[in-house]
Structure 1
Amino acid sequence: MNVLRQMQSFFWEKRSFLYLSILCLAIATALGLVTPNLLRTLIDDAIQAQHFEKVPALALTVIVVVALKALMQFLSGFFGGRMGNYLAYRLRNGCYEKLQVLSFRYYDKARTGDLMSRLTGDLEAIRQFIAFGIPQILNTILMVVFGAVVMLYISWQLTLITMISIPFLVIVALKFENRIHPAFQEMRLALSALTTSVQENITGVRTVKSFAREPYEVDKFSIRNERYKSNQIFASGLWSRYFPLMELLACICVVVLLGAGGTMVVRGPLTLGGLVAFFSLIWYIIGPMWNIGYLINNYTQSEASGERVMELLNQPIDVQDKEGAIELRTEDVKGHVTFENVTFAYGNKLPAVKDINLDARPGSVIGFLGGTGSGKSTIIQLLMHAYNVDSGRIKLDGIDINDIKVQSLRSQIASVFQETFLFSSSIRNNIAYGMKDVSMDEIIRAAKLAKAHDFIMEMADGYDTIVGERGMGLSGGQKQRIAIARALLKNPKILILDDATSAVDMETEHEIQSGFQEVMKGRTTFIIAHRISSLRHADEILVLDEGKVVQRGKHDELIRMPGPYQDVYHIQYADHIARMNGDAGEQVNS
């Protein structure tokens, strides 16, 4: 029950629903005890005594009792359902809000399918248990207690005799719980892996088909499906051994009851009506013991699910606002960014960036060039406070970004990443993502600056065209230009272009770069690029290698300086340089 105690804050506000559900179920249980006593009265006082005039009244009483019991059971289910739905609603919102504030470090290792499994299957298991499982457990206790009291009232001797097998039922049930709980934990993990496999396959279906790896994916899925099936079979095996034993013990109890009770009726200490009533009441004891397996099943499933949900909710937030963090006012932000001896490593790996120093004046353009893994994107992510630096400081207008509220800092930054993400919505909504009170004219202006307006207007529904999941249906260049328009519409003080024109052709890149010249005015811009053509107008270019700055300067300075930048320039402009050398040779010969 420790997991449920941890969830208490999510349902305690509506605990009255739980109390009402339990109260109604307790009343229904108590009313259920009336029927056996009515049977005893019917047999002893009406039939055997031949007072048949009592039968109609007794029959009417039974109908009223049964109707009231049904009403109480309905109300119990109604209030329990309200309670379960409220808890699931709060938990679902809590998990989603947690996912929004968790740091990049968590998502570096998280699996989408696993998270989806927690927010769907696990939450549903918890809802079912809170709504119906807890009342049923308490009802089981009430049935046993109430039933035992009435049975003792009818015949304490027969009660003691028939209770012989009850301790064995309890022992078997507890042993079953100890074995089934780990099985359900493993089953949840197997289902999570299975869900992840399906999600990854659907998301990456184009890659799968382009590499003709369908058989490999089928085999991978089959292995995970086999694991899930094996866990299901193992759990079923536990059930198959548990139920026959429970049924055997229950039947022994009934046989003892009929033998001992029949003898007592013949000898006189017990009436026939008392035996019939006792036989009905024994199921108030055996029934809950028999069904305790189902209750344990529901409890263990909800506990395993609750552990997975609480694991998510209890995840530490690596990057969060410190006490007293300030809120930036847009009109006061200038965009002066400085890095002072910044070093950072992902986990226990080697530093991704080491001793980075940078002074980006307001309105300046800073370029980054380097190979894969050189630390370019890491610098940008540190600027966005996606991670906490290991040493050194990053400042915005002289203020350490650790002293600025994370949301306030990021509201001043707009990014265009190499891997473009679009939502399953209209192009208009994708460009205006998260922006309130944005006019259509502003959206069109941003699209024109990103050179996206023309191809958007060629579509059947224009800006109301719905793009598929992750922008399916658009080319890489089209998606990238929509992402650029989205960034420009934000009107940020700091603009980050992480290889933002990698998916467009040279001509379109030139057009977009021309548009950027206007947009970059008054903004501090950071450009990560593999094409030198995107960096040649930067105020300063940093060349990175293995997390260190190995060269820095303007384009004209770096191409004359032996080093990585000059090497990249010669590779990218080899044809142009050869052509220039050829023209120069012809002029000399002439």
Structure 2
Amino acid sequence: MSDTPSLHTDESRYSTAKLLRRLLALAWQFRVDCLLSLALSIILLLLGLVGLQLLGTAIDVIRHALDPTAVPPAYPFGWKPPANWSPLHVVTALSLAIVAQAVLRSVLTYSYNMTTVRLTQGKIVPELRGKLYSKIQRLSFRFFEVHGSSSIFNRLTGDVQNTRLFVDGVILQGLNMLITLAAYFLYMWKIQASLTLACLSVTIPLALVTHYYSNRLRPGYQKNRDLYDGLVEVFSQSVLGIQTVKGFAAESDRIKKFETGNRAVASQQQKIFWDLSVFTPITHFLSQLSLVILFAYGGWLYVQGRIPLGGGLVVFAGLLQQFTGQVANLSTIANSVQQSLTASKRVFEVLDTPIEVENNSNPVKPSRLKGNLVFDGVTFGYVPQTPVLKNLSFTAQSGQVIGIFGMTGAGKTSLLGLIPRFYDPQQGRILIDGMDLRDLDLDEYRRQIGIVYQESFLFSNTVAANIAFGSPYATQDQIEQAARAASAHDFIMALPKGYNTVLGESGADLSGGQRQRLALARALLLQPPILILDDPTASVDAKTEHEIVSALRHAMEGRTAFVVANRLSLLRRADRILVLEEGRLVQEGTHDQLAHIHGPYQDAAVLQLMDLAREERSAA
């Protein structure tokens, strides 16, 4: 599998415009919640304007009470206080209205926050993460060979969160900002047009600065995600390979490697933060510059009597402060845009990855298979131009044990991978009971195949749950029957809680032979007519090998079995042995036949006999 290609990203497919269209389509799926959130933000905006107007009116009432020659206050919303009310009564009424507005605004703010959180964390993130996980489960092995586990983990966690940021941090915040700016602009224009134009003249340089930094930030975020993937990979490999690390006293080297990656991530983040630390103060400075214009030009207008104090200058100041606050929020929105674009590209790359092996339009659901398997002129390569199996043809009859032998790189594991249709051949066809594998329902077909790998993975769960992994509704009797067939029942019962014993990560608290027998029990629980054994005794000692071979001998009875092994002790029990060399079938026959014919199998048999003789002499 060393010839597996890298999956290069089609950058044109993930241009900014196309990413934005897809992110908008994502938001459209949740348009009802988005509109509700937007409606609440508009109501909050209106309540804020009401509060400002009431405050300005209260100031004008107080000023007129202190100076009866001043311009009388203009009461908002068509309201006029009773003629017998004193200024104190009017100010009290306006104050109570401001308090009521503030209370209502607090309640609606809570509703807005809860609606937004429910939309993003309760709907968008779970659905997007579920789609991503479902797609990953359906992708071929090629995807996992190209992308490291750390990259996949980060896409499923952090990148999904940053993708949803486009909805609440860009669309909702952006629309809210535009509506707010428009409302404030119209209100300020109504109060004093020339003052509005003067104060908002700073928005042009602000827009230019925002555009510049938006383009500058995105490559930095992309590089940061790649560096973070590498850092997580170093950490995960150090944890998974802790025995190897300690065995070679390589702790200091791994620490240095992690520190190097950690510094690279920190350095890249500092570059991003440096850009933001320059960008944000610039936007705040330009925003505050408008206040200088307000006090200078607005003060002159007030002295000239062209704008009132409370309902004019004070309200205008409040509106301008809110306006500049919203404009200053551009830096946050621009930052969110770049984060979401970077993350969404990584998420969509997974969602867009084609499923290489899937059902045709009308798959056949096979009944119980007999196990007659035919390879008819099969040529296959992980890179189509570099085949690892070449014009391979053979037939396995139901109930036969087929041994597969060859040197490293001969194509043994590749051949096994074609039987459960993990890959499709580029040429030729594979038949099971006379049916082309490509015509069968993939899940139904694979459920009739039991697989035991050289290093079988066990989950951090109970022994019973591990055995029943492929058949979660199996009864306890069925689980124990499978364990007995795999010669695993006795050692399971010796565990602290028997079948309810919770295993450590990857079954690390079991011996190699015990793990293999549990994996065999897991495969046998399905009662498969086809059994695939990928060198199950490769990394065990002689005693453990004897235990596994004994269990396998019983397991293979009555099944079509394919056994890859380099140790002839397992292959000699095969009904027929296929000898592969550079992807071609160069010999086939029984153990006794091949042992007496010059070729790769005989060479291996002689070498193993010589090794055995040397061991016996050493023991003597």
In structure 1, C-alpha distance between the alignment counterparts of 2:56 and 2:574, rounded to whole Å: 97
2:245 to 174, 195, 208: 208
Shift of the 131–160 alpha-carbon distance from structure 1 to 2, 3 Å rule, reads closer
Task: Show the counterpart of 1:573.
Answer: 609
1:32: how far off?
Answer: 0.9
Distance verdict in 2 for CA 1:515–1:268, change over 3 Å: closer
* CA apart distance, 1:535: 1.3
Residue in 1 aligned with 2:276?
239
SS in 2 for 1:249: helix
- Structure 2 residues not aligned, in runs of 5+: 1-16, 67-86
Shift of 1:116: 0.7
Q: Who is 1:276 aligned against? A: 314
The code of the aligned residue for 1:180 comes to: L
Deviation for aligned residue 1:491: 0.6
Question: How far off is 1:147 after superposition?
Answer: 0.3
**In the superposition, relative to structure 1, how do residues 133 and 412 fare at CA in structure 2: closer, same or farther (>3 Å)?**
same
Tell me which residue corresponds to 1:325.
363
The equivalent position to 1:26 in structure 2, one of 42, 58, 61, is 42
Contact 1:80 1:132 in 2 (8 A): no
Q: Tell me the residue number matched to 1:387.
A: 423
> Secondary structure, in 3 states, of the residue corresponding to 2:588?
strand
Q: Is the 8 A contact 1:15 1:83 kept in 2?
A: no
Q: State the alpha-carbon separation in 1 of the partners of residues 470 and 352 from structure 2.
A: 28
Find the aligned partners of 2:550 and 2:313 in 1 and give their Cα distance.
Answer: 97
1:120 CA drift (Å): 1.1
2:381 alignment partner AA: A
1:118-171 deviations in Å (ceiling 9; x for gaps): 111112223344245432221111111000011011111211111111111111
Measure the CA separation in 1 of the matches of 2:165 and 2:528. 47
SS in 1 for 2:563: strand
Per the TM alignment, residue 428 of structure 1 is displaced from its structure 2 partner at its CA by: 1.1
Contact preservation (8 Å) 1:10, 1:91: no
User: Which of these residues, 145, 164, 174, is aligned with residue 108 of structure 1?
Assistant: 145
Measured after TM superposition, the shift of residue 262 of structure 1 is 0.6
- In the TM superposition, what are the counterparts of 1:209-228 in structure 2 within 5 Å? 209-228=246-265
Determine whether 1:92 maps to 2:92.
no
* Helix, strand or coil at the partner of 1:100: helix
Q: 1:417-450: per-residue Cα shift (whole Å, max 9, x none)?
A: 0011000111111111131432222222222232
Q: Is the 8 A contact 1:250 1:286 kept in 2?
A: yes
Partner SS for 2:325: helix
Which residues in structure 2 correspond to 1:23-102 (within 5 Å)? 23-50=39-66, 51-85=87-121, 86-102=123-139
SS at match of 1:358: strand
2:74 alignment counterpart: none
Q: Which deviates further from its counterpart, 71-80 or 90-99?
A: 71-80
**TM-score (ref. length: structure 1):** 0.94
In the other structure, the counterpart of 1:253 is 290
Match of 2:33 in 1: 17
Q: Secondary structure at the match of 2:510?
A: coil
Partners of 1:458 and 1:175 in 2: CA distance = 68
Inter-partner Cα distance in structure 2 for 1:251 and 1:511 = 80
Quote the offset at 1:47 in angstroms.
3.1
CA deviation vs aligned residue, 1:170-215 (integer Å, no higher than 9, x gap): 1111211111122112212221221122112211222222222222
Give the match for residue 340 of structure 1.
Answer: 376
**Correspondence for 2:11:** none
Question: Which whole-Å CA distance do the structure 1 matches of 2:495 and 2:607 have between them?
Answer: 38
- Indicate whether 1:466 and 2:482 are aligned: no
The code of the aligned residue for 1:367 comes to: G
Evaluate the alpha carbon distance shift between residue 201 and residue 177 of structure 1 in structure 2; reply closer, same or farther with a 3 A threshold.
same
Determine whether 1:288 maps to 2:304.
no
Which whole-Å CA distance do the structure 1 matches of 2:272 and 2:140 have between them?
37
Of 297, 308, 326 in structure 1, the residue corresponding to residue 346 of structure 2 is 308
More displaced stretch, 383-392 vs 238-247 = 238-247
Question: What is the CA–CA distance in structure 2 between the aligned matches of 1:8 and 1:411, rounded to whole Å?
Answer: 40
Change (3 A) 1:266 1:219: same
Q: Deviations over 1:398-421 (max 9, x none)?
A: 111111122122111110000110
**Separation (CA, whole Å) in 1 of partners of 2:382 and 2:362:** 27
Matched, 1:536 2:552: no
Q: Write the mapping of 1:123-522 to structure 2, written as runs, cut at 5 A.
A: 123-273=160-310, 274-330=312-368, 333-347=369-383, 350-522=386-558
- Give the AA of the match of 1:309: V
Note if contact 1:370-1:545 (Cα within 8 Å) is conserved in structure 2: yes
Unaligned runs of 5+ in 1: 581-590
Map Cα deviations across residues 325-384 of structure 1 (whole Å, 9 max, x no partner): 211112xx1111000111111126632111111100111110011111111110010111
8 Å Cα contact 1:28-1:69 kept in structure 2: yes
Q: How far apart are 1:9 and its partner, in Å?
A: 6.4
Amino acid at match of 2:406: G
C-alpha deviations, 1:529-553, integer Å up to 9, x for none?
1111111121110111111122110
Question: 1:561, CA displacement in angstroms?
Answer: 0.8
Task: Specify whether residues 546 and 157 from structure 1 end up closer, same or farther in structure 2 by C-alpha distance, changes over 3 A only.
Answer: same
Q: Give me the whole-angstrom Cα distance separating, in 1, the residues matched to 2:601 and 2:130.
A: 49
**For 1:563 and 1:11, how far apart are their aligned partners in 2?**
65
Amino acid at match of 1:277: V
Q: Which has the higher mean CA deviation after the structures are superposed, 358-367 or 217-226?
A: 217-226
Distance 2:45 2:484 in 1: 72
Count of aligned pairs between the two proteins = 578
Query: What TM-score, normalized to structure 2?
Result: 0.89
- Aligned equivalents of 2:581, 2:253: Cα separation in 1: 36
Residue 261 of structure 1 deviates from its aligned partner by: 0.7
Check the 8 A contact 1:484/1:500 in 2, yes or no.
no
How well do the aligned residues superpose, as a CA RMSD in angstroms? 2.0
Q: Call closer, same or farther: CA 1:362–1:214 in 2, change over 3 Å.
A: same
Shift, 1:286, TM fit: 0.9
Please say which of residues 66-75 and 106-115 is displaced more in the overlay: 66-75
Q: Is the 8 A contact 2:27 2:34 kept in 1?
A: no
CA deviations 1:25-79 (Å, max 9, x no partner) are 1110111112221222112234324533210011011111112222222221111
